[in-house]
Chains A and B, each alone.
Chain A
Amino acid sequence: MLHLILFLFFGTICVAGAINLLAQSHPINSALSLIAVMASLAGEYLLLGAEFVAAVQVIVYAGAIMVLFVITIMLLNAGKEERTKGSRIAILIGVPGVVIGGVLVAWTLLHRPDMQTVPIGALKGDPSAIARLLFHQFLLPFEVTSVLILIAIMGAVVLASRPEAIARPHHSTPGPQETRKLVATGKDRR
């Protein structure tokens, strides 16, 4: 009973945050509701017994990735979203289609006879067991992932740096004279 109450508590926060993400028009509000979704998902992982995944969810997702999002929103000074009208035929066909599909999926999931129940804390997910699996069986994917992260960092730096800085690497930081010229012409800011 307690398990069900906790599941419904975190699940309600999850779904409410996801719907709020769609309803808000300012991106910073959407980002904050996405943080709420991720934090309550960490609660769901704890209910399943996956402590390691719950901790990583809070640290990496709700921490690092969302900080990147919020910094980008503040850096670009993103304002309210302009709404554009969608086509009517999409609403006329799409909404009943989504309702029918959703009801079918839910009915199939809830009425499967062989669907088992999950007890609270079902996974024995202590970090040492996961580490043993990660560094023995999944060692090659782990190393490939580290290379992927390295490439992603370099790609992000190249993409986000100014085009002039890439074209003239020796003059990436303008000297005092150049700075004065840039300030005079107003070209250093966009």
Chain B
Amino acid sequence: MKLSSVALRRVVLVSLGALLVMALVYVVMRSGPLAPTRVTVVQATEGRLTPALFGIGTVEARRSYLIGPTVAGRVRAVAVDVGDTVKAGQLLAEMDPVDLDERVAALDASVARAGSAVAAAEAQRHDAQARKELAAVNARRYVELGQQNFISAGAVEARLQEQASADAVVTAATANLAAARLDQQRLAAERGGLRRQRANVRLLAPADGVVTSRDAEPGSTVVAGQAALRLIEPSSLWVKVRLDQARSAGLAAGLPAQVVLRSNPGQALAGKVARVEAVSDSVTEERVAQVGFDQAPAGLSVGELAEVTLSLPATASAVLLPNAAIKRLQAQVGVWVIDDGTLRFAPVRIGQASLDGQVQILEGLKAGTTVIVHSEKDLGTHSRITVVGSLAGRQP
């Protein structure tokens, strides 16, 4: 009885000890340097991917107008306000004409006076003409009388001289009349010019549009070229997209685009690349493209941030891998491949990538190869691994 109790105790103690040793072995094998690294794997598959480019941009107007005076002056009236829709030719604002109206009135008077001067010159010419005709008649009669010797030669010569004089007076009167007419024309032209200047202080809308800013109020002074109002054409709104140069291969006009506005993140608007700018930004290392909307949404605001995804045509069929599998060992890009249970680093050449993280493998890997995607830590050739379903988190 006593013996058996001792034996029982011994069994319990030994089993406790064995349990402890097992726990230690388990702990040592599962953590620390002897523990295998847990990894997830994927089979390389053959397929096509649709690469896409992603960039952010702002909504801008293709055509915007700065409305301002051509000479410095004071604003007299502003007829429109921000948000107003205006038609081409509509009066938007008017500058103070200062003395232009008075100068036009003065020229009006001058032109009228020139008209009077023309009338006077005309009358003088008529007078001279009448004198000339009388002198001609007189001269003819005296010449005939002189031939019959009724009168002295001196009297005849006096009449001839009278006639010549009258001719000269007519010529002078004709010239006077022409001068008066030219004077009138000059004054009329000057008045026309002044009227054009007067019209120029009226700022008119160059095209149909919406007023986006009212920069000057009546009474304020603006210099030549400074904008008093800004207009945009709402039908010409597009998105100026900036794309990272490193990820802009394939960017071309005509690519289909999905535009997501910050004000409405749930809705993707369809569009198209309207233009790719020839000059890219060397400081930010970005390329610039303009994306037009297929159908511009209502209430679009200029300057709004937009995320733009451009879809490129699908690539040719190639081996595809998730980008998490691509590792870099010193200077080589490659993937960790499991070959018959052993770990091997296979250098690969990678091609295009899609936005959902698939990468084209151009060289160095066959379809169906088992490749490590996720790992708990950096791997080496001698790493011990165990393959598990997933390491953390849920798959997107």
Q: Are these two chains actual partners, yes or no?
A: no
Q: Which B residues are closer than 8 A to A by beta carbons? A: none
